[in-house]
Structure 1
Amino acid sequence: MSAAGKSVVVIGGGPGGYEAALAAAQLGAEVVLAERSGLGGAAVLTDCVPSKALIATADFMDRFSAAKRIGVHFEGEHVPGDQGVTAHIADVNQRIMELAVAQSRDIGERLESAGVQVVQGAGRLLGQGRVEILEGVGDVPSGETPAPHSEEQRSPGTRHRVVDADLVLLATGARPRVMPTAMPDGERILTWQQIWNLTELPTHLVVVGSGVTGAELAHAYLGLGCEVTLISSRDRVLPGEDPDAANVLEEVFRRRGMNVLNRSRMSAVRREGDGVVVTLEDGREVEGSHCLLAVGSLPNTEDLGLEEAGVAVTPSGHVDVDRVSRTSAQGVYAAGDCTGVFPLASIAAMQGRIAVAHALGDAVAPLSLGKVSSNIFTDPEIATVGVGQADVDEGRSDSRTVMLPLSKNPRAKMQNVQDGFVKLFAKRGSSTIVGGVVVGPRASELIFPIALAVANRLNVDQFSSTFTVYPSLSGSLSEAARQLHGFGD
């Protein structure tokens, strides 16, 4: 089908926004995308891409510390420390930011080649089918230059512009949550968007919050050589994840020297000299050189004209959408973290593409969260898809479960993998695979065959009859499926 003659305005250039813009342009629509802080949004510039690059650096360093365990030794006078590797955080962060900007630039080139008009600026709804764009506002990351499509856009200063649209997509993302008693200063008290300005490695980093962001960055800085204290208000780290997986990760954290404080809620953070003091609700104090706040996020939904346009929001301030990304206002859709559906870049991109397909009359299938795979980039990684342990324990899924430790896998032995497991969930009666968990190296890759099984409703016999390489970590996936054979009833 063709959407020629249709007008689309996208507010926000993160994964939800730029993927929607590309999809609309491919269908032939005229597309304007307004982004105030750089294409790719937080996912590319300050969150997902930078954090995973930092983790990759820490994981690279860990190979040296593990060398002796596999019989490799370093020799020579110029090998300081345990294995002669240290992290120069200024150089690390410079590389990370250059990588992020390069990724942002690539996105800009894709949009420009597709014919999308990219505007540096902020957008606001003026009612049904009308958007006000304030051009020239916002910050562009160092090294990135927006790709304007007219001389008028190249002119300095700002100007108001009103655009009529058949489809408006809101993809404004979210920002770190802060508390009045723990205000970031960008130097010692930091959000995850501010740590990329560090020029010296913290001597003792106190991480407040043990969700995905807190756990990933605590792992990264521990691997870079910092002393790390992780403050968790719950009984364990990653309280929303598979409990077996969370327990493995917490055990690894402690064994590697991280100080994990469970059932410890932060009440305040303050600067004191060249360091910080984190006060807990029970009166204890934790001193460190820096504090990283990872206590959730807030949607960027202010000053968008939502109320005037009739766009409903949830009590948390997120834009309320259905499974095809529609809001309560005709012609207005939303995607990504501003909707609060699932804070993943892949979900945001899918929401954006679904919105465009639905609004412009293309073939579309509603968003199905039951088939979404996700990954936590700690060491070991934790990947999940479909039904989880909580669904089984709380009676939402009548499924059988098998869990196999990776320590019994021959390839894992060769790679000195000591921690991790694979877990499969199969529905009683049909033995259809409905979910899985992988904890181990490259779990983000190993989860894919389980995701294929869930998406295509394969049963355990179909899954296990597929050949795997020997030796390989994927062999444990097949073995888990074989152990579920005959347990359908």
Structure 2
Amino acid sequence: MSDPSTALPSDPHRLPSAGDRPRVVIIGGGPGGYEAALAAARRGAETVLIEERGLGGAAVLTDVVPSKTLIATADVLDVVAGSHGLGIRDADTGSAPTAQTLNVDLAAVNARVKRLAAAQSADIRSSLSEAGARILEGRGRLAGPETVEVLDGDGDVSASLHADVVLLAVGARPRELDADPCDGERVLNWTQLYELEHLPEHLIVVGSGVTGAEFASAYRALGSEVTLVSSREKVLPGTDPDAADVLEDAFARRGVSVRSRSRAASACRRGDGVVVTLTSGEEIAGSHALMALGGIPRTGDLGLEQAGVRITERGHIETDRVSRTSVRGVYAAGDCTGVYPLASVAAMQGRIAMHHALGEAVSPLIAAQVSSAVFTSPEIATVGVSEQDVADGVISGEVLVLGLDTNPRAKMQGISEGFVKLIVRPGSHTVIGAVVVAPRASELILPYTLAVAHRLTAEQVAGTFTVYPSLAGSLAEVARRLDGADD
């Protein structure tokens, strides 16, 4: 029996239908695409997924999985650098260990990064095959609201598919400076970092959003000199200001140079290094430059105009809360929609789209229940409304804050920075938002995400047992600071 993930019809220019089963055609194999394919196939739909760059998309192959694997390595070095306070000394010198005293084999690190990404992609392929989804290699394009063409590497049509349901999950690509495209050697975007064999001596990171902050934190821990160029007054614009302050303090303590209110005009090679020129005319010299300027949706040449699918001025596909586009039967998910640039949101959008398209009851995407994390050191995780929303009068709320300096587990582990913040409605004390700044904050945010999603109160959080000692203990302790929460 042929493998359903690779088998093609005898006529490659017309893929036959499978009887009475609805046919779902998905363009893009990232989290939005493959999660949608799994959901559709498991519900009995004939499912075809078209992908040109590899299953898992950018999230698995060049973005989330690789970057977090690199960051996991950096975290080990970061722990080593702070272990002197725990009484750990170098066996030969008797001095405190630092990340700089260790030898980082970046070629080996990046080889592991790519190996894990490939393994995750293979796991996704296996899951899709087991579910009965068919995978076609190539680039998908709409030829109408119910027709999808598959283009091969030469741009020729290799298959034409009738579709009862279409999902567009084509993702985004890194934004670069128009005048200075990345060369993949000295001037890099975040997909090209994993080809480096040697640690950058001085990495200039242009952009202080999530991607820029994460890589600045990671490469400093690995041992590179790092300069972060930020066009804003603070790093992580739009993030909780208290969390951004903690991160900036951590950057200063670790030796990351932050150039705030500075904008890059160009980044070009000069000799064996690079020079980033600011709009002020000042030049910053380094060995490598990372352009972390956000993403551009891959919606060009997708046939959207011919099919009548509306897009925004920025090129994102317009969708509603159940992932429908302006065309009946055509859905979209992931970074190409501009909703949230998060793999978890893309996956949820894909699942919601399939549930809706196949006639199942579905809960729409609720922005206030989306949790997210920044994988810096320390990590920053958030969910729900922000303290800024309360300050601006967007929503009424009470804000409770507790530093980790009083947490016994934090003291044992030598953790000196971080806090938990809980936002509740006045009167009812329903949890509506939270911020956690701590090691593994991405894990610690889950109880608060459940509280927001299920409308739990501060009293319910406060009355929940936590392990002693644990960092999670502070999640309940901050709730007990609310008057009456511990009664």
Common fold: TM-score over 0.5: yes
| Aligned mates of 1:135, 1:50 — CA distance in 2 | 27
1:66 CA displacement: 2.0
Cα distance 1:134–1:395, how it changes in 2: closer, same or farther (>3 A)?
Answer: same
1:458-477: per-residue Cα shift (whole Å, max 9, x none)? Answer: 11111101111111111111
Q: 2:129 aligns with which of 97, 107, 112?
A: 112
Cα distance 1:237–1:279, how it changes in 2: closer, same or farther (>3 A)?
Answer: same
Q: Which residue of 2 aligns with 1:202?
A: 200
1:390-448: per-residue Cα shift (whole Å, max 9, x none)? Answer: 21111111000011110111110001000000000000121111010000011011111
Q: Is the 8 A contact 2:81 2:97 kept in 1?
A: no
Cα distance 1:59–1:182, how it changes in 2: closer, same or farther (>3 A)?
Answer: same
Query: Which consecutive unaligned segments of at least 5 residues does structure 2 have?
Result: 1-18
Q: Which residue of 2 aligns with 1:23?
A: 39
Cα distance 1:483–1:22, how it changes in 2: closer, same or farther (>3 A)?
Answer: same
1:123-160: per-residue Cα shift (whole Å, max 9, x none)? Answer: 1111121111124569xxxxxxxxxxxxxxxxxxx652
Q: 2:78 aligns with which of 41, 51, 62?
A: 62
Amino acid at match of 2:91: E
1:250-288: per-residue Cα shift (whole Å, max 9, x none)? Answer: 110011001011111111111100011111111111000
Aligned counterparts, 1:81-160, within 5 A: 82=98, 84-135=101-152, 159-160=157-158
Query: Which consecutive unaligned segments of at least 5 residues does structure 1 have?
Result: 139-157
1:336 aligns with 2:352: no
Aligned counterparts, 1:271-350, within 5 A: 271-350=269-348
1:151-193: per-residue Cα shift (whole Å, max 9, x none)? Answer: xxxxxxx652110011000000000011223320110000001
Aligned counterparts, 1:33-432, within 5 A: 33-76=49-92, 82=98, 84-135=101-152, 159-432=157-430
1:8-62: per-residue Cα shift (whole Å, max 9, x none)? Answer: 0000000000000000001101011000000000000000000000000011112
Q: Which residue of 2 aligns with 1:468?
A: 466
Cα distance 1:361–1:82, how it changes in 2: closer, same or farther (>3 A)?
Answer: closer
| Aligned mates of 1:453, 1:103 — CA distance in 2 | 31
1:102 CA displacement: 0.5
Q: Which residue of 2 aligns with 1:455?
A: 453
1:10 aligns with 2:26: yes
TM-score (normalizing by structure 1): 0.93
SS in 1 for 2:110: helix
Amino acid at match of 1:48: V
Q: Is the 8 A contact 2:89 2:95 kept in 1?
A: no
| Aligned mates of 1:24, 1:482 — CA distance in 2 | 44
Q: Is the 8 A contact 1:207 1:229 kept in 2?
A: yes
The aligned length equals 466
Q: Is the 8 A contact 1:375 1:384 kept in 2?
A: yes
Q: Is the 8 A contact 2:189 2:292 kept in 1?
A: yes
Cα distance 1:7–1:82, how it changes in 2: closer, same or farther (>3 A)?
Answer: closer
Q: Is the 8 A contact 1:46 1:193 kept in 2?
A: yes
Cα distance 1:370–1:79, how it changes in 2: closer, same or farther (>3 A)?
Answer: same
Amino acid at match of 2:446: F
| Aligned mates of 2:390, 2:40 — CA distance in 1 | 40
| Aligned mates of 1:430, 1:282 — CA distance in 2 | 51
Q: Which residue of 2 aligns with 1:152?
A: none
| Aligned mates of 2:94, 2:55 — CA distance in 1 | 43
1:275-313: per-residue Cα shift (whole Å, max 9, x none)? Answer: 111111111110000000001110000111000000000
| Aligned mates of 1:258, 1:204 — CA distance in 2 | 11
1:212 CA displacement: 0.1
Amino acid at match of 2:186: R
SS in 2 for 1:483: coil
Question: Quick one: percent identity of the two aligned structures?
Answer: 58
Runs of 4+ in 1 over 4 A off after TM superposition: 77-84
